[in-house]
Every structure is written in structure tokens, then in C-alpha cells.
């Protein structure tokens, strides 16, 4: 008989004894306390589970803090740990990836095959002159060649910069330019909601705006007509047929601190930040967190329903599951296409055991009602996960009752692009409270503090800080070390704490409740957008003199964007102009940044120093009191 959770109060949910005793970490408190006794020894022990060409001399070097170094002197390669080593054991016959395209086509790739595909891709990159330390931009939909391209870059020591396929021309051009990528990997298109997303057209325009690119490798996915530039663009299938594309390739022995990838994310200015992660610490951190939090075992079929273009996909579709030798499922398209049953149908069909997705997706599917999940056999599931934004208790309960059938604990994982992996999260042995990401992962020390750095008492809001370095932490902002120091380490520089940029509160039990961002970052459907990015997109239109955008709560998306624009003299406000501006943002930034509402105004509330008071706009949009207006100019 299936045991159910036995909540002693409506607030608490405890995992069953069966789940706890079979978990990698059956006693969270014991492991946490033990790890905190000697954090370096703890991480060193975790690193021993991986392959090192040469052992490290020092676990952590803090001599140049906050430019921390982990596993100093160690030689390794994340692709060796994710692919090469499994292709030499019994796992060579195991499925590394199961994939389903939106139109319903399917692919399965064993570790043996994956190794060959990665080698082939790596040899093609080498033949294009890509060397250690070179940056390669990847702009694709969710198809197996995306992880393969990432792993191939890492294998030869190139630094990948994956740009989410929902970004548009200018965003892609900015990221290519910042990374100075000479090679771009893309696909002709991607399937989304039954339509083709014309990726190659976006790449063509982006390269026009950022002409550093010399070669483009194009994977054929949709087969529609595209423009291929002679001498610059090559079909992947043509290259793969050449003798240079051998399935054998040496893996570069990388220094533990050599860069693995750059991932651009939004911050407080319009220019996206290139968050940099390295080979050594990142592999230890992502694999440990996945193994312990989702209790991954060889027989699992793990589904992280994110996009590899975001950190969630980097860490938990690609690297961590493969390092653990797991089977990772990936799906190309929209959750409700062609019907709202798509997710549930695939869970049944492939016997998926863990589902990790975002609250926005859960809320989106919840809208269609529980008849959809109830029609399918979801008994293969044993754990569920949530990421990207706070999960509201209503969505938590729906997920718990109708997807997990009250059997599957929900791991609400709080983390960031910068942290590399889960930071505050339950383990399957921890009691859950819907809406709380619970407690820090072993080895991680977090706190909620006031302006002066004093710990806030239970129930009081403060700033979320991380008090000790961890192996998965970002190492710098690519090309901008000052920004790295200023953004993350200056607020509590005396104490040497990392500022997460979120506000939070702890409760009497030490559980952390994330409230939201304290900076100008808006989370739309779990995607991270900077107000400045959208604003600079708006003012790049000839009609707009000034713009301010805010996030306003939305039932499904978490937040939607409201934009306020002052038009240039002589320009008339109209519905047509509003539509034109929305379309403009779609092209300048991407569909995810399109405001749901644009209002034309004569003035914007500003401080005397000229800073826009978004708080006032937000209060007005939400019909709340506007608060202290003493700093308002007029
Ligand atoms: O505000 C927090 C929110 O997402 C931010 C990080 O965004 P990004 O770098 O895009 O990474 C998202 C995927 C890891 C955080 O500063 N956030 C992330 N997870 C949670 C969350 N807020 C509440 N609960 C979470 N579980």
C-alpha cells in the first residue's frame, strides 16, 4: 500500500519513513552539523567522488577574496566526469538522455553514443580553430545537440556562452559581442506551440550587428528555408560527415579554476552580467546537490523541465545528472501543447521518477484543472521539485495532491545563476512547509540580516546573505571584476558576506521564506529580467523619450511587466503605438520581456537626484498607498 504523508498540522508535511531511510542523506541535521565543523574537509570529501587527472594541493584559497579559488592545483575536466568515464563502465549501455520533440519525435542516447557525439562535435570545433579559452556562443532550442555542443566545448577547454533561444537579435548581439565569440552554434529553428521559431534569422541579424563571428554551425531541426551565408555558415550534418569529425577526441586536462562557461543574467544595469563558472568547483557542487536533494539513484529517470539556456538547465539538465551517470529527460516544446496533458502523458510514457519545474509552469497547468493529470498514471514519480520564484501555497498543494498524489515530497530549491546549484532547499529527510525553501544545504551558511549585518529575529524581513564561500559560486563577472566585487561583496564587505539580492525572513524553526528581489530585477514566469534592459529597449524606439518599467504580481506568471513611457515631443499616444512598442521589445529583447501593459505619461516620479521611484509606480499600479514621498521631486 502506498503510504501517505502524515501532516501533524496543516502547515507541515513529513516524508514517509520509506523515503527517509532510503535517502542518500537520511539525517539532515547530522550531515549539516558535521559539514559545518570543517567545511573544506566536507567539500574535499565530496570532490573525491569525481575524477581528477591530478589531485588538488589546497581545497580553498581565500588569499585574494572575494576572488576565491577552489581545489587549487587540481587538474580535471567536467566532460570527463560527465561522459568519458561512464563510457568506460557498464553505464555505456545506459541511457544518458531521453528526448521528445514537440511534434512527437523521440530520441534516446546512451552514454556510449553520447561520448561519440561529443567527440565528433569537439573535433568539428577544433577544425574551426576553436582552442582552450576561446568563447563559443550557443543559441538553440531544446534539442540534444545543445547539451552535446556544451559538453564538446568543455571537453576541449573552450568556454561556452549559451543564450536562451527566446532572446532576440539585440540581446544575442550584445552577448556575442561581450564574449567576443568567433563561433556560434545554432539550429535552423525550434518548435514551439506548433510553430517554428526562426532561430537562424535571429542569428543572421545578430551577427550583422556584432560582426566578430567568423563561423556558424547550424543543426537542422525544422527544415524550413533559411539563409546560409557562404563561407561562414555550415550545416552540422555536412561537417559531421567529414573525416575530421572523428568519434575519438582527447579530453583537455583543465585547471580546476579554468573557466567552463559564461552565462549572462540580468542585473541592475542594462548591460547583462556574464556570470563565470569554472570546471572544478562547479562539478563538485552541482553533482553533490543533485544527488542529495533529489536523491538520484541509478534507476531514476530525472526530468528537469527547464531550458538549457538558463542556469537550471546548465546545472541540472546537462552537467549534474550526467556526472551522476543518471538518465536525463528533455522535452522541446510547450507544457500545454497540443493539450494540457503533455507533461503528464510523458511522465507516464517514459516512467519518469522525478519532476523538477517552475511554479509558473505549475500554475499554468493548474488552470486547466486536475482532470488532466488524473487521466494518467503518475505512480512512477517519487519526488517533485520547484525553482525560480517563491511557490505560493495554493500551487504547492495542487502539485502535491494532484501530481505527487500526496506521496512525493516537494523540494523547493532556492538558488541563483551565481550560486551554480541549490543553496536553500529541503532534502528528502526534511519536514516541509509549503512556500518555504526550508534550510541551507550542508556546507552552506545563510542568514537574514539587517543593514548593519545583525541577524534578524524570526519573522522580521531582511537581506539574504551567504556567509561562507562554496565550490559552486561564480568566480567573477566576465570582463568586469569590479562589478563582481561591487554587486555581490561590497554591501557586507567588512564581514566578507555574499549579498544574494533577495529579501527573506526566517521563522521560529529556522526555515527561510524568500520574499523577492531587493534590486531592479523582475521575475516573469521565473525568467530574470532587469528593468533597465526593458527600459533601454523602449527608449531605443524613436517615439520614446523616457521609460520606466515595474513588475506587477500576476496569478500565473508571478509577475508581469508594466511600462510607463514619456513620448517625444510631437508624438501622439495611440493603441497602434502601444502595439508597435510591444513588437519592438519582442525584437530588441525577446518575447519574455514584452510588457503586458504600456501607459503613456507626461511625467515619471523621480527623486531629486533623478532616480525613478519605481516603488511609487508600483503602489499606484496595485492601488496601494504610495508611502513616503518626501524624496519625490514634485
Ligand atoms: O529571487 C530569487 C529567485 O530567482 C532568483 C535567481 O534567478 P536566476 O539567477 O534566474 O536563477 C533561477 C534558477 C535558479 C533568486 O535571486 N528564486 C530562485 N529560486 C527560488 C527563488 N525565489 C524563491 N524560491 C525559490 N525556490
Q: Decide: residue 620, CB within 10 A, 0-12 exposed, 13-18 middle, 19+ buried.
A: middle
| Residue 388 CA to ligand 1 centre (angstroms) | 4
Whether the per-residue pLDDT at 221 is higher than 70: the answer is yes
User: Mean pLDDT over residues 97-120, rounded?
Assistant: 98
Whether the per-residue pLDDT at 9 is higher than 80: the answer is no
CA–CA dist 418, 262 (Å, integer): 11
Q: Please give the number of the atom of ligand 1 that sits closest to the Cα of 500.
A: 16
Closest C-alpha residue for ligand 1 atom 18? 388
**Residue 264 in contact with ligand 1 by CB distance below 6 A:** no
**Residue 312 in contact with ligand 1 by CB distance below 6 A:** yes
| Residue 85 CA to ligand 1 centre (angstroms) | 32
**Residue 392 in contact with ligand 1 by CB distance below 6 A:** no
Whether the per-residue pLDDT at 244 is higher than 60: the answer is yes
- How far is CA 528 from its chain centroid? 9
CA–CA dist 476, 274 (Å, integer): 8
Cell of residue 148, nine digits = 552535446
| Residue 414 CA to ligand 1 centre (angstroms) | 6
Cell of residue 507, nine digits = 521563522
Percent of the chain with pLDDT over 70: 97
Give all strands (DSSP E) within 101-250, no chain letters.
106-110, 135-139, 159-162, 183-187, 190-192, 195-197, 215-219, 233-235
Whether the per-residue pLDDT at 2 is higher than 80: the answer is no
**Residue 413 in contact with ligand 1 by CB distance below 6 A:** yes
- pLDDT 10s digits, 23-75: 999 999 999 999 999 999 999 999 999 999 999 999 999 999 999 999 999 99
3-state helix, strand, coil in the chain (%, to 5): 30, 25, 45
**CA distances from residue 486 to 151, 157, 367, 475, 483 in whole angstroms, order as listed:** 32, 29, 42, 13, 5
Percent of the chain with pLDDT over 90: 88
Does the CA dihedral 209-211-212-218 come out positive or negative?
Answer: positive
User: Mean pLDDT over residues 10-18, rounded?
Assistant: 86
pLDDT score recorded for residue 3: 38
**Residue 437 in contact with ligand 1 by CB distance below 6 A:** yes
For residue 387, give the nearest of 328, 305, 289, 446 by alpha carbon.
305
pLDDT score recorded for residue 554: 92
Among 105-109, 284-288, 422-426, 605-609, which stretch is predicted with the lowest mean pLDDT?
605-609
Q: Is 200 left (phi over 0), alpha (psi -120 to 50) or beta?
A: alpha
pLDDT band at 10 (very low <50, low <70, confident <90, very high): low
pLDDT score recorded for residue 612: 85
As a whole number of Å, the CA-based R_g of the chain is: 24
User: Mean pLDDT over residues 137-143, rounded?
Assistant: 98
**Residue 161 in contact with ligand 1 by CB distance below 6 A:** no
**Residue 528 in contact with ligand 1 by CB distance below 6 A:** yes
Whether the per-residue pLDDT at 97 is higher than 80: the answer is yes
- Whether the Cβ atoms of residue 402 and residue 282 lie closer than 8 Å to each other: no
Task: Characterize 428-461 residue by residue with b for buried, 16 or more Cβ atoms within 10 angstroms of its Cβ, and e for exposed.
Answer: bbbbbbbbbbbbbbbbbebbbbeeeeeebeeeee
Closest C-alpha residue for ligand 1 atom 4? 388
Q: Please give the number of the atom of ligand 1 that sits closest to the Cα of 306.
A: 13
**Residue 501 in contact with ligand 1 by CB distance below 6 A:** yes
**SS3 at position 373:** helix
pLDDT score recorded for residue 620: 87
Whether the per-residue pLDDT at 379 is higher than 70: the answer is yes
Give all strands (DSSP E) within 150-272, no chain letters.
159-162, 183-187, 190-192, 195-197, 215-219, 233-235, 254-255, 259-265
Task: Output 48 or 168, whichever has higher pLDDT.
Answer: 48
Q: Please give the number of the atom of ligand 1 that sits closest to the Cα of 425.
A: 26
| Residue 392 CA to ligand 1 centre (angstroms) | 14
| Residue 162 CA to ligand 1 centre (angstroms) | 19
**Residue 311 in contact with ligand 1 by CB distance below 6 A:** yes
CA–CA dist 370, 367 (Å, integer): 9
Task: Output 519 or 323, whichever has higher pLDDT.
Answer: 323
**Residue 512 in contact with ligand 1 by CB distance below 6 A:** no
CA–CA dist 280, 69 (Å, integer): 10
DSSP structural state of residue 508: T
Task: Characterize 299-328 residue by residue with b for buried, 16 or more Cβ atoms within 10 angstroms of its Cβ, and e for exposed.
Answer: ebbbbbbbbbbbbbbbbbbbbbbbbbbbbb
Task: Output 6 or 118, whichever has higher pLDDT.
Answer: 118
Among 97-101, 183-187, 537-541, which stretch is predicted with the lowest mean pLDDT?
537-541
pLDDT score recorded for residue 631: 64
Does the CA dihedral 13-17-20-23 come out positive or negative?
Answer: negative
User: Mean pLDDT over residues 576-588, rounded?
Assistant: 95
Look over the chain and give the mean of its residue pLDDT values, rounded to a whole number.
94
Whether the per-residue pLDDT at 471 is higher than 50: the answer is yes
CA–CA dist 573, 602 (Å, integer): 11
Does the CA dihedral 576-581-585-591 come out positive or negative?
Answer: negative
DSSP structural state of residue 630: T
- Whether the Cβ atoms of residue 263 and residue 314 lie closer than 8 Å to each other: yes
- Whether the Cβ atoms of residue 554 and residue 623 lie closer than 8 Å to each other: no
Whether the per-residue pLDDT at 288 is higher than 80: the answer is yes
Closest C-alpha residue for ligand 1 atom 10? 528
pLDDT score recorded for residue 8: 37
Residues 6+ apart with CB under 8 A from 41: 59
> Which residue among 391, 523, 558, 592 has the greatest number of ligand 1 atoms within 8 angstroms of its CB, and so is best to mutate?
523
CA–CA dist 525, 545 (Å, integer): 28
**Residue 431 in contact with ligand 1 by CB distance below 6 A:** no
pLDDT score recorded for residue 628: 66
**Residue 328 in contact with ligand 1 by CB distance below 6 A:** no
Whether the per-residue pLDDT at 19 is higher than 70: the answer is yes
Amino acid at each position: 500500500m502506498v503510504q501517505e504523508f502524515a501532516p501533524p498540522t496543516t502547515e507541515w508535511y513529513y516524508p514517509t519513513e520509506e523515503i527517509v531511510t532510503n535517502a542518500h542523506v537520511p539525517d539532515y541535521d547530522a550531515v549539516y552539523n558535521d559539514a559545518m565543523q570543517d567545511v573544506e574537509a566536507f567539500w574535499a570529501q565530496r570532490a573525491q567522488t569525481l575524477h581528477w587527472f591530478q589531485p588538488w594541493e589546497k581545497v580553498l584559497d581565500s588569499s585574494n577574496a572575494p576572488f576565491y579559488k577552489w581545489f587549487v592545483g587540481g587538474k580535471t575536466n567536467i566532460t570527463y566526469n560527465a561522459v568519458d568515464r561512464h563510457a568506460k563502465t557498464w553505464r555505456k549501455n545506459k541511457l544518458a538522455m531521453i528526448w521528445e520533440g514537440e511534434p512527437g519525435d523521440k530520441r534516446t542516447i546512451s552514454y556510449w553514443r553520447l561520448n561519440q557525439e561529443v567527440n565528433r562535435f569537439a573535433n568539428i570545433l577544433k577544425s574551426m580553430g576553436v582552442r582552450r579559452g576561446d568563447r563559443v556562443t550557443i543559441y538553440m532550442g531544446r534539442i540534444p545537440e545543445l547539451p552535446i555542443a556544451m559538453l564538446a566545448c568543455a571537453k576541449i577547454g573552450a568556454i561556452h556562452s549559451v543564450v536562451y533561444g527566446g532572446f532576440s537579435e539585440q540581446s544575442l548581439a550584445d552577448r556575442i559581442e561581450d564574449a567576443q565569440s568567433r563561433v556560434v552554434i545554432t539550429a535552423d529553428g525550434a518548435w514551439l506551440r506548433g510553430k517554428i521559431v526562426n532561430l537562424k534569422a535571429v542569428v543572421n541579424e545578430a551577427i550583422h550587428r556584432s560582426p566578430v563571428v567568423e563561423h556558424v554551425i547550424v543543426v537542422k531541426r525544422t527544415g524550413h528555408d533559411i539563409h546560409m551565408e557562404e563561407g561562414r555558415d555550415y550545416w552540422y550534418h555536412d561537417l559531421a560527415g567529414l573525416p575530421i569529425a572523428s568519434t575519438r577526441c582527447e579530453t583537455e586536462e583543465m585547471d580546476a579554476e579554468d573557466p567552463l562557461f559564461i552565462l549572462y543574467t540580468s542585473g541592475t544595469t542594462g548591460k547583462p552580467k556574464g556570470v563565470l563558472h569554472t570546471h572544478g568547483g562547479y562539478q563538485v557542487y552541482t553533482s553533490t546537490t543533485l544527488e542529495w536533494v533529489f536523491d538520484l539513484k541509478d534507476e531514476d529517470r530525472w526530468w528537469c523541465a527547464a531550458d538549457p539556456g538558463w542556469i537550471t538547465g546548465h546545472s541540472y539538465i546537462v552537467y549534474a545528472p550526467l556526472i551522476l551517470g543518471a538518465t536525463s529527460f528533455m522535452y522541446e516544446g510547450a507544457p500545454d501543447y497540443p493539450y494540457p496533458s503533455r507533461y503528464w502523458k510523458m511522465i507516464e510514457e517514459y516512467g519518469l521518477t522525478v519532476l523538477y519545474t517552475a511554479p509558473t509552469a505549475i500554475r499554468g497547468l493548474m488552470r486547466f484543472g486536475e482532470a488532466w493529470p488524473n487521466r494518467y498514471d503518475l505512480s512512477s514519480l517519487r519526488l517533485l521539485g520547484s525553482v525560480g520564484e517563491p511557490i505560493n501555497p495554493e500551487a504547492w498543494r495542487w502539485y502535491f495532491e494532484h501530481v505527487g498524489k500526496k506521496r512525493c515530497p516537494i523540494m523547493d530549491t532556492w538558488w541563483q545563476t551565481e550560486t551554480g546549484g541549490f543553496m536553500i532547499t529541503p532534502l528528502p529527510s526534511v519536514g516541509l512547509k509549503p512556500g518555504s525553501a526550508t534550510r541551507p544545504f550542508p556546507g552552506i551558511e545563510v542568514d537574514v540580516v539587517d543593514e548593519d549585518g545583525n541577524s534578524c529575529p524570526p519573522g522580521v524581513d531582511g537581506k539574504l546573505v551567504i556567509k561562507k564561500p562554496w565550490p559552486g559560486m561564480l568566480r567573477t563577472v566576465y570582463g568586469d571584476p569590479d562589478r563582481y566585487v561591487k554587486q555581490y561583496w561590497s554591501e557586507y564587505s567588512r564581514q566578507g558576506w555574499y549579498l544574494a539580492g533577495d529579501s527573506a525572513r526566517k521563522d521560529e524553526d529556522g526555515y527561510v521564506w524568500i520574499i523577492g528581489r531587493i534590486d531592479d530585477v523582475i521575475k516573469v514566469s521565473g525568467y530574470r529580467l532587469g528593468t533597465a534592459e526593458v527600459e533601454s529597449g523602449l527608449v531605443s524606439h524613436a517615439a520614446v523619450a523616457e521609460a520606466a518599467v515595474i513588475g506587477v504580481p500576476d496569478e500565473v506568471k508571478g509577475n508581469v511587466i508594466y511600462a510607463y513611457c514619456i513620448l517625444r515631443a510631437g508624438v501622439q499616444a495611440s493603441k497602434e503605438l502601444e502595439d508597435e512598442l510591444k513588437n519592438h521589445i519582442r525584437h530588441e529583447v525577446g518575447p519574455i520581456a514584452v510588457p503586458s501593459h504600456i501607459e503613456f505619461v507626461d511625467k515619471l516620479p523621480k527623486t531629486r537626484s533623478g532616480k525613478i521611484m519605481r516603488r511609487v509606480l508600483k503602489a499606484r499600479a496595485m492601488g496601494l498607498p504610495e508611502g513616503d514621498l518626501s524624496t519625490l521631486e514634485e
